[in-house]
Structure 1
Amino acid sequence: MAHQATASHTEAAKPAIAAEIFKAYDIRGIVDKSLTVDSVMLIGRAIAAEALAIGQQRLCVAYDGRLSGPNLAAALTAGLHAGGVETIQLGMLTTPMLYFATEHLGTGAGVMVTGSHNPPEYNGLKIVLGHEAISGATIQRLYQRILDNALTTGDGQASHTSIAPAYYAHIKHDIQLARPMKVAIDAGNGVAGAYAQALFEALGCQVQALYCEVDGHFPNHHPDPSVPENLQDLMRALAEGDAEIGLAFDGDADRLGVVSKSGEIIYPDRQLMLFADDILQRQPDASVVFDVKCTRLLAPWIAQRGGRPVMWKTGHSLMKAKMRETAAAVGGEMSGHLFFNDCNAAGEARWFGFDDGLYAGARLLELLSRDPDSTARLMALPNSLSTPELHIALQEGEPHRLLAQLQQRARFTGATDIIRIDGLRVEYADGFGLMRASNTTPVIVLRFEADNPSALARIQSQFRAVLTQAAPSAQLPF
């Protein structure tokens, strides 16, 4: 039986734990430096206390393919048990499979040990409580619980199960391909490699697998499909082989990258156009949520099809919260997170509203399989001149300070609108520029889009002037 420990308020009794690992929508740090076994055990205690406070007695636990995953998962489990909750141990999974387990097993709660797309030396925790991926104030509350020793004690026990069979069965029941497809899959040696080939073969696909051996060193390329350089091997495989579409996944498989047969990257905002077009035919007037990095062509595309476009902050848990608030049928981020919460023709829910790169890939194949030539549908999507995500590397804490300053002081000539919901998105009649502080690594993220090269150069020039004045030593990537 769990009980509340006596809170300690003395400075000397406060444990040493790095405040900077408690991010906006997850916990993340460098293993054995800012993120240690001891700190993860303490975080497990805090999660247990938070779970018990809302009446949740059991949590699912899993880890991705990173080298530090098993040790950190063991420390997390020890902390959860010491805090008085039971755990269901699921072993090595994708993050979305952990999300699926919290629904399928009825816990509504779970913790995933994952560093997502960060470099190999990183790891972290994504946390689900009360059927929601926690963020913001709730994550900070975990930190405060540790500082205040506002923890519970108990003797939780572990059980073990495999969630993969139920996961495969659910998707196979939901997804119906109109014809067999040949697909190339690049897992980047992330944990998607353990599951993607089996899933897509179960759907009737012929799979060409690239880097599907799980290896936390990531020896071939980094598992981040938002970076074009990481898609070069997939492009070559499509050019040289007979696969008609290429799918790529990030380190924990909650994000999707797509490459056409011709080698064009179909960025997630354009993927979202396809999904919105399909879903709005069944659910007219539904909301579609997208983040500030997405193309300005997306909102009118949604509106023309009877949907309600909703721009929101970047971040998987922030997006999911906005989708719940707006009862959105689908949502997406430029980084590759895609969220499905739509219904089939019978009005039954197809998915659970969380992001899953493998499921999103299956949904894409379902759409493309309806055409004899999958490329035609992709090439018909509207497009404009744009950059991929660009990054300015700064010191820890600097990006948010700099953006807060720029939100107050920066001026942009000829702007038609300035959106401040997440950094600065500056709209012009012929394009937009964006800069925002990443919540996962100490970088400023930029993206530019325009009707033509001269407009793109003009917008970038304005941003260059503003950034050079505010941060003269920053190395600008444009």
Structure 2
Amino acid sequence: MAANEASNTATAKTGNRPRPVVGTVKNNDILDIEITEQDEALFGFEDHSEQGAQGGTQPTNAEEYAEDEANSQGSNLDVSQTIPDVVFRAYDIRGIAGSQVSNELAYKVGQSVASEALDDGENTLIIARDARLSSPELTEYLIRGVLSTGCDVLNIGTVPTPLMYFATEVLDTCSSGIIVTASHNPADHNGFKIVINGKCRSEEDIKAIRGRILKGEIYRGTGTEHRHDIVPQYIDTIFSDVALAGEISIVVDAANAVAGTVAPQLFEELGCQVTPLYCDLDGSFPNHSPDPSVEANLQDLIKAVQDAGADMGVAFDGDGDRLAVVTPKGKIIWPDRLLMLYARDIVSRNPGADVVFDVKSTRHLNKCITEVGGRPVMWKTGHSPMKAKMQETGALLGGEFSGHIFIKDRWYGFDDGLYAAARLIEIVSLQGQSLDDLCEELPQSVATPEIRVPVSEDKKFALIESLRASGNFADAKITCIDGLRADFSKGWGLVRASNTSAAITLRFEADTPDFLHKLKALFVREIRKIDNTINIDWK
């Protein structure tokens, strides 16, 4: 059904809303290095961290579950066992499909989020999903849960997360939605990203979703499901915004994930010569994991770009909100350096604009943003806190090292890997230089990718707190807005707890390879003092 028809249905319900019914550090290359007195002086030491919802019929088991759940309303069953706290994370709900993110959880999340939306005056939720194998069934249960509250559903099918965000911005129906996705996580994971009244959920908001479920503060009613194809409007809007000065050849790696449903068509419409790579959907991700922040996952793209003689290669994560870029010479432009290119373009036309970046980003961003007349703002990692900071500051640009790029200039400010790629293509075409040449103009340094170290959920935050309390980083400038970042005159290191998986993450940047090596050794030494069972692989 068209969006305006769904909107009319929702409007008719405003005055008749249903009421709630309460019911071991190991590394041969690092650990054999002694930090000498000369090294300690260097650090500054003194002597003393499309299918599923849109395809097929409604499964009978989802209908039966909805009926059984409704009939059991008011029972004293403890649902906390099937609503595990561990999946309610800082930015979204995410875990292993089946054992942690179950059909029952999907149904309950649908009920809880819909009830929250109804409280906020929203009568329709936009529902979407990614291409994971578990997404179709989870989406069916999610939709049943939403409908059971009396909230309507506008099902936009199998699309990247940015298209769900886009729909909440441009459709009259509503400004709230849920997408079933686990983003860049492995194929056996799944979860939910949530927007209510145009805002992503904070950590407290995510916890409140579980709290509402446990308290039984759920609306009751009968909603209606409608369907809408948002892809044409999304492509047309970008086509009207982005102008290329000439044909650009690109290779598009979608990792067999949901970006493959939109990206090739979008870039062809813009006038690019497109070579698709892994753009057919396969939720098992057979070619490589859908995480473009991992260098190994970009090797096929590098080869394809060089084989095709393309002007660039672009890679997207499992739900299309993150971007990685490869140059014609096969170099990876990590997103924090990519942000410098966007800043030069956007801030130069908007003097005084704020640019927000996360704690994992290069220290060169400060100088780059300042030189073009902007104000650099370092903030926490994560798409939700980044968006909140951008709204707070009115920033026109934001970015994370993981590949989330937020553009408010001519766009809506949400993280959108596809739109960010389109804007980069525009920059390259208008500058008349190769991407390699543009990157050569940027400040150079020696840096690591993001290093992920497995640490259990119950230990990772405690480890960071201990480092903050007792870590010895001499005269470094310490930043603790997210983990622990130690900035020295010749480089910096970071350790933080991941908010999306059982891990800590580290990153380092330095003026020279030697100082980079010493930074790693310093952080290993401090981590060893707290927990010598954590295994760190620097590869």
Band of TM-score, shorter chain: over 0.9
Deviation track 1:424-445 (CA, whole Å, cap 9, x = no partner) reads 0001010000000010001100
Counterpart check, 1:383 vs 2:444: yes
Alignment partner, residue 257 of structure 1: 324
Aligned to 2:487: 427
Question: What is the 5 A alignment of 1:303-382?
Answer: 303-342=370-409, 350-374=410-434, 375-382=436-443
Aligned to 1:128: 195
Q: Encode CA deviations 1:280-330: one digit per residue, 9 max, x unaligned.
A: 121100100000000000011111111110000000011000000000010
Amino acid at match of 2:246: R
Residue 413 of structure 1 deviates from its aligned partner by 2.5
Of 322-331 and 99-108, deviating more is 99-108
CA deviation profile, 1:322-362 (whole Å, cap 9, x unmatched): 000000010000000000111xxxxxxx1111011010000
Question: In structure 1, what is the equivalent of residue 18 of structure 2?
Answer: 2
**Quick check: 1:113 aligned with 2:213?**
no
Unaligned runs of 5+ in 1: 343-349
1:476 aligns with 2:492: no
Structure-1 residue corresponding to 2:11: none
* Distance of aligned partners of 1:304 and 1:9 in 2 relative to their CA distance in 1, 3 Å threshold: farther
Q: What is the alpha-carbon root mean square deviation over aligned residues?
A: 1.3
2:284 is aligned with 1:246: no
Q: Name which of structure 1's ranges 374-383 and 162-171 shifts more when overlaid on structure 2.
A: 374-383
Higher helix proportion (structure 1 or 2): 2
Q: Distance in 2 between matches of 1:305 and 1:288?
A: 11
Match of 1:345 in 2: none
The correspondence for 2:366, drawn from 299, 310, 319, is 299
Deviation at 1:372, TM superposition (A): 3.4
Specify the code of the residue in structure 1 equivalent to 2:92: D
Task: Determine the structure 2 residue equivalent to 1:92.
Answer: 158
Q: Could you tell me how far 1:414 is from its partner in structure 2?
A: 3.7
2:222 alignment counterpart: 155
Whole-angstrom CA distance in 2 between matches of 1:132 and 1:61: 15
Which residue is 1:394 aligned to? 455
Tell me how far 1:116 sits from its aligned partner: 0.4
Distance verdict in 2 for CA 1:460–1:414, change over 3 Å:
farther
Query: 2: distance between equivalents of 1:165 and 1:358?
Result: 14
Contact 1:14 1:148 in 2 (8 A): no
Distance in 2 (alpha carbons) for counterparts of 1:13 and 1:360: 45
Q: Is the 8 A contact 1:9 1:148 kept in 2?
A: no
Q: Does the residue aligned with 2:100 lie in a helix, a strand or coil?
A: coil
The answer for the alignment partner of 1:413 in structure 2 is: 474
Is the 2:186–2:290 Cα contact (8 Å) retained in structure 1?
no
The farther-off stretch of 280-289 and 236-245 is 236-245
* 1:53 aligned onto 2:111: no
Superposition pairs for residues 264-279 of structure 1, below 5 Å? 264-279=331-346
Q: Deviations over 1:61-85 (max 9, x none)?
A: 0000101111111111001111221
Out of 435, 441, 447, the residue aligned to residue 501 of structure 2 is 441
Q: Secondary structure in 2 aligned to 1:462?
A: helix
CA contact (8 A) 1:21 1:29 kept: yes
Structure-2 separation of matches of 1:287 and 1:477: 36
CA distance, structure 1, for counterparts of residue 458 and residue 266 of structure 2: 40
How far, CA to CA, are the matches of 2:312 and 2:517 in structure 1? 32
The code of the aligned residue for 1:212 comes to: C
Query: Residue 268 of structure 2 contacts residue 274 of structure 2 at CA under 8 Å; is this kept in 1?
Result: yes
Task: Please report how far the alpha carbon of residue 58 of structure 1 lies from its aligned counterpart in structure 2 after TM superposition.
Answer: 0.7
- Number of aligned residue pairs: give it: 470
Distance 1:176 1:136, change over 3 A: same
State the one-letter code of the partner of 1:3: R
Q: Distance in 1 between matches of 2:118 and 2:91?
A: 21
Shift of 1:270: 0.8
DSSP 3-state at the match of 2:283: coil
State the shift of 1:12 in Å. 4.8
Letter in 2 for 1:161: H
1:38 aligns with 2:54: no
- How far off is 1:242 after superposition? 2.0
Q: Following TM superposition, by how much is the alpha carbon of 1:397 offset from its aligned partner in structure 2, in angstroms? A: 2.7
Provide the C-alpha distance between the structure 1 equivalents of 2:518 and 2:263, rounded to a whole number of angstroms: 43
Match of residue 195 from structure 1 = 262
TM-score, normalization by structure 1:
0.96
Task: Indicate the structure whose relative CO is greater, using CA pairs within 8 Å and at least 6 residues apart.
Answer: 2
In structure 2, what is the Cα distance between the partners aligned to 1:103 and 1:414? Answer: 46
Of 65-74 and 372-381, deviating more is: 372-381
Counterpart pick for 2:131 among 65, 68, 88: 65
Match of 1:369, SS? helix
Does residue 281 of structure 2 align to residue 220 of structure 1?
no
SS in 2 for 1:24: coil
Larger radius of gyration: 2
Aligned to 1:81: 147
Separation of aligned partners in 2, 1:363 and 1:448: 28
The one-letter amino acid of 1:172's match is: F
For the residues of structure 1 that align with 2:132 and 2:276, how far apart are their CA atoms?
20
CA distance in 2, matches of 1:334, 1:227: 11
- Residue equivalent to 1:347: none
Q: Is the 8 A contact 2:18 2:149 kept in 1?
A: yes
Q: Deviations over 1:93-133 (max 9, x none)?
A: 00001111111213110000001000000000000001011
- Secondary structure at 1:397 match in 2: helix
Identity %: 45
Asked if 1:450 is matched to 2:510, the reply is yes
